A = this chain, B = another copy of it.
Amino acid sequence: MSEPGAAGPGPGPAAIQVSRIMRPDDANIAGNVHGGTILKMIEEAGAIISTRHCNSQAGEPCVAALARVERTDFLSPMCIGEVANVSAEITYTSRHSVEVQVNVMSENILTGAKKVTNKATLWYVPLSLKNVNKVVEVPPIQYARKEQEDEGKKRYEEQKLDRLETKQRNGDVIFPVINPDRQTKEPHTVGYSQSSLIHLVGPSDCTLLGFVHGGVTMKLMDEVAGIVAARHCKTNIVTASVDAINFHEKIKKGSVITISGRMTFTSNKSMEIEVFVDADPFVDESRGRYRAVSAFFTYVSLSKEGKPLPVPQLLTETEDEKRRFEEGKGRYLQTKAKRQAQMQQAAQH
C-alpha cells in the first residue's frame, strides 16, 4: 500500500485512509508540523481499524486500546498547507492483540510532490465495553502467504518481551524533583531545560470506554519534549524519532496528568529527551498518583534552510545525570549501528 487512496490487497481487512490539511496550529513557528500531531493521527487511524476488526464477528462489543507503539523515525519534515495522508492496515493478530502498520506521506498538493514522512507499528488490545478489565478474543485475519503469519508472530513475541521489561523498569523509576528555579541554572544543564505541563483530561480526549486515547498522550509528550529541546538549543527543532512506547496503565477521564521531560543525552546533532506521564485520578480516592507512560524522544535542530545544526553539549552535574547520559549514548550508538547494518543489507540486495 504505497499510493494514498489505494487500498491494496493487504493481508487483513479493508485498510483505512485518513487525509488532512496541516494547519498553522499543527506546526511550530518555522512551519514544521509537530511530530505529536502526526503521532495523534496515526493512533486515531489505528484505533478505528483495530476496533472495527475486533467487532467484526458476533462477539462481545469491545474497544481497542493502544498497548504499544514501536520505534518510529521521522524521515522528512511536513509543512503547513501540505496534506498528511495516513493509511493503516492490520498485519497480524494474536489471540488478544492486533498489530497495525501505518504509513504517513506528506503531499504538497501544489507541486504534487510526495514524501514518506514515517512508518509506524502499533499494538492494540481489545477491552470489553461492559467490563473494561476483560480482554476479549481477536478474530484471526487471513494471510496471503504463510511467511507473513510467521514473521508477524516473531514481531509479536519480541514486543511482548520488551513490554514486560519496561513494565519492571517503569516500576523502579522514582520520580525526580522537577522544575527547579530555572533562573539560577546554567544554560545547557539538565535542570535548565527541564519542563513539565499538567492537563485535565476532558471528554474529547477519551475513547468510548472513558480512557485517554494513546494518541492524545503522545501528542502531549511530544509537546513537552519539544519545549525541552527548544530551551536547550534555542533554535527551530523537530522530532527525529520516538523510541518504542508502552502503555501499561490506562488513564481515566477527569484525571490530571503531569507530563515531564528532561534531556538525557546529546550527540553532535541530536538530543534525547526522556518523557514521563504521571496520572492523578484525584477525585477517585481509591488510587494515588501513578506512572502511566514513559518514552524517549530524539530531536534535531534545523537551520532556516532545513539543514541539521550542531547541538550544544548537555552539561551533566549529578551522578544520576551522568549515568543517564551514558545510557543515552548506548541507545544512540545501538541505533546507529542498526541503521548502518540495514543500509548495508539494502545495498547488497
Give residues in A with beta carbon < 8 Å to B.
3-8, 14-21, 23-25, 28-29, 44-45, 47-48, 51-52, 55-56, 58, 61-63, 80-81, 83, 107, 109-112, 114, 129, 175, 177-183, 187, 195-200, 202-204, 208, 223-224, 226-227, 230-231, 234-236, 253-254, 256, 280, 282-285, 289
Contact = CB atoms under 8 A, between A and B. Distances in A.
Contacts of A197: 18-20, 196-199
Nearest to A31: B29
Contact of A180 (B5, B203, B280): B5
24 contacts: A5-B14, A6-B7, A7-B7, A16-B17, A19-B48, A21-B226, A21-B227, A24-B25, A24-B203, A24-B204, A29-B81, A45-B198, A55-B110, A55-B111, A55-B282, A62-B110, A62-B283, A110-B230, A177-B181, A195-B256, A198-B227, A200-B223, A234-B283, A235-B283
B63 A47 contact: no
A226 B200 contact: yes
A7 B183 CA distance: 13
B200 A48 contact: yes
Contacts of A55: 109-112, 282-283, 285
A110 B234 CA distance: 4
Per assembly, the copies of the chain total 3
B23 A20 contact: no
B208 A283 contact: yes
A197 B48 CA distance: 12
Given A63-B110, A200-B226, 17 more contacts: A5-B180, A5-B182, A7-B180, A17-B198, A18-B19, A23-B24, A52-B256, A55-B110, A109-B230, A129-B283, A175-B183, A177-B180, A195-B256, A196-B198, A200-B227, A227-B256, A234-B283
A17 B29 contact: no
B17 A196 contact: yes
Which 8 pairs, one residue from A and one from B, show the smallest C-beta to C-beta distance?
A: A29-B81, A24-B24, A24-B203, A5-B14, A5-B7, A29-B254, A203-B203, A179-B179
